Structure 1
Amino acid sequence: MEHIVTVQDAVTAFASWLEPTGAELDAIELEMPVITAEVELLDAQIATLDRPVSELDVRRVRRADRRVLAARRVLANKPAGEAA
């Protein structure tokens, strides 16, 4: 005889109460420039993995790194609770 095991976690994984709250979505939106800059930096770094690094690649990574730092600076200097 086989026992039927419920998959409660899989069924409730998509329950509405597990959705992000409005505050969480606002926090993500506030951090989106940093996230985008970090993705661009990662793209630039990945592009240099499988080939010799050229001067153009170095500049691209450096520019992307500066964008990440600038986005983090802007985020850090925003007053607490500021949404935009």
Structure 2
Amino acid sequence: MSPIVTVQDLVTAFEPWMEPTDAELDAIERELPVILAEVDLLDAQIVTLDRTPGELDARRIRRARRRVLAARRELANRAAGATLPGGAA
């Protein structure tokens, strides 16, 4: 009979080089408004999972969707502006 051995140490091993780079942290920080808006949208949707959404719930979800779209638009505009040649951002 052969013993069953896990490979957890290989999968979850921590190495110092596994830390996020400065570029990755900057990207997360740039996307943070979108992330927070999406969390608000999820919160609004979770509230309505166990009941029929009322008018206030529907309004809260619509507002949260608009915030997500606005945050995504702002992020896209910043990314597009940063790639324009000649520094015309």
Q: 2:56 is matched with which residue?
A: 56
Greater RCO between the two (CA within 8 Å, min separation 6)? 1
Question: TM-score, normalised to structure 1's length?
Answer: 0.82
Q: Which runs of 5+ in 1 are unaligned?
A: none
What is the TM-score when the length of structure 2 is the normalising length? 0.78
Identical pairs, percent: 68
1:4-83 correspondence to structure 2 within 5 Å: 7=7, 8-10=9-11, 13-78=13-78, 79-80=81-82
Greater helix percent: which structure?
2
Q: Distance in 2 between matches of 1:26 and 1:63?
A: 28
Runs of 4+ off more than 4 Å:
5-8
Number of residues of Structure 1 aligned to a counterpart in Structure 2: 80
Amino acid at match of 2:82: A
Shift of 1:52: 1.6
What is the aligned-residue RMSD (CA, Å)?
Answer: 2.2
